[in-house]
Amino acid sequence: MLDVRASRLKRNTNRAHVFYFALHYLLLLCGGVIYSMWPVCC
């Protein structure tokens, strides 16, 4: 019973880590694009 709960919690935390990593990567990517386009725009 405890093992099932632990594995489920572990799977949820892994999914959350993947989601946060993807979000962080997208923010870095957008920031890099804006930073590289800044001299062109302004």
Burial 6-35 (b: 16+ CB within 10 A, else e): eeeeeeeeeeeeeeeeeeeeeeeeeeeeee
Per-residue pLDDT tens listing for the chain (42 residues): 578 787 888 888 888 889 999 999 999 999 998 888 877 765
Say how far apart CA 22 and CA 24 lie, in whole Å.
5
- For residue 11 the two structure tokens come to 């799977």
Whether the full predicted model's pTM is greater than 0.75, yes or no, is no
Say how far apart CA 10 and CA 8 lie, in whole Å.
5
